[in-house]
Structure 1
C-alpha cells in the first residue's frame, strides 16, 4: 500500500478466503502508484516518490520479509522519479524503468548470483512508456519515444513505437545492429537505401556488409546514398560510455598495482 508492505495468507496449507485472511505488516516504506514486479523469488517496487526502488524478499536470519534500498549506491539513477516499468526475463533479468525526464534507467537483477547493476540509456528524444513481449529466445522490449525531427511533421514532435533489437545477433558482423530508430536492408547489393522517411533531414550512421561507412543525411524522399552493400543497418547514432572498476596489473617481480 502507500503506507506499508503487507502479506496476506489464509493459514498453513489453507486457501485464502474472506473469512480466514491473515494480514501481516513487514515494513513501512510504502509504494508509489506503479505495478510491483515479481522477479525470481523477490518483489521489486518503488517507494513513495518513485525515486527509491526496494527489494521485498524473505530474510532467513530475521525470519521475516525485508525491503532494502536497491538504489542506495546510485540514488541519482532514477532522476526525478519513475513513471513506467517493464520486466524482461530472458536472456537476462532486467527491469526497464522510464524516468520522469524521458531517460531509461535499467536494472540488471540476478538475485541467486548476487548480481545487481544499474545503467542509464538516453536517445535523441524522450522515452514515454515501455512494455515487454515474451519471446522464444529473447523477450522483446518495446518503447514509445517522443522525437522531434527537423524534416518530419514540420519539426513538430511525433511519437515512434520502436523495439530493441536482439542482443545476440549471431557471428556475422553484417548483422550487428547498433543504431536507434533504424532500419535493416538485406537483399542484393545496392547504393541507395530507402524507407528512412521517419528520419528525414537527420544524419544517420551506416553499417554496410559489416563495415562502418560515412554518415549520411536522409533526403526528402527518405533515401541515402552509400557505398555498395548487400546488408545495411542505418539509423540514429549513439555513444556508449562505460566506467570500469579500478584495473589491477601484475607484472613479473612486482606487486599488484591499482
Structure 2
C-alpha cells in the first residue's frame, strides 16, 4: 500500500450502462500496487479533479478493473477518460470478502445495482475453485434492464453449470424484458442453500442490504456468516475525515466488508 498515487494508464474502457464504465488499468512503469483481494478498494485519482474510493471489479494478472458510475465531479471525470489517459492509484485498502473462510459451505451472493462490481471477483474466484464450496447462488437486482452491469457475463453465468442458481430481477420492466420484475429479496425463495452451512455476501444500496440480511437471519443464517460491504460510506481511506464512521467502526480501516453481526446494530441506530 502506498500513500502516494502511482501512475496507471487506461488501456481499455468498457461501457456498461449509460452512466457506468469499467476502466481497465495497467501500470505505466515498474512500480505497481500490491495485489488486491476481492472486496478491497483503491483510491482512484482523476488528475486535476480529485480522488474517490472504488472497489476492484476484476483482478487480472497485469491489470486492474474498476467499475465507476458517474454521480459526481470526480466520477464523471473518470467516466470520461479514454484509452491512453492516466489516473493515479493508491491502495489496496480495506478488508476483503475472505472467501477462503467459507470452504465447504454453500455460497449465496446477492448484488444490487453497482454492488455487483465488488462482488464479481468473488464470483470468479468461487467458479475457479468449485470443488472447495457447496452450492453457489448468484442473485442480481437492478433498477431497470438498462442498469444491469456485465450483461454478457450475466448471460454466461445464467447458463454456467458451476452456478446452482443464477437469477436476475429489475425493479421496473422495459420493452424486450421478459425476466423477473421485483425486489432482489424476492429471488431468495428460489435459491438453493442450507441456512446452517451457508455464507452470504451482500453489496448494494443500504436499504437492500438491510432487507436481505434480515430476511436471511429470519431464514436461519447466522449474522456472523453474512458479509456485507458498506463501501458507499467511504471517502478518504485513511480514517482521518470521519465520513465513514459508524459508531466505533471506521469503514476505511475496519471495513468496507464486515459481518452483519457488527453492521446491523450500527445501521439500526442510523435508521432511528
TM-score using structure 1 length: 0.29
Greater share of residues in helix = 2
Indicate the structure whose relative CO is greater, using CA pairs within 8 Å and at least 6 residues apart: 2
Greater share of residues in strand = 1
TM-score using structure 2 length: 0.28
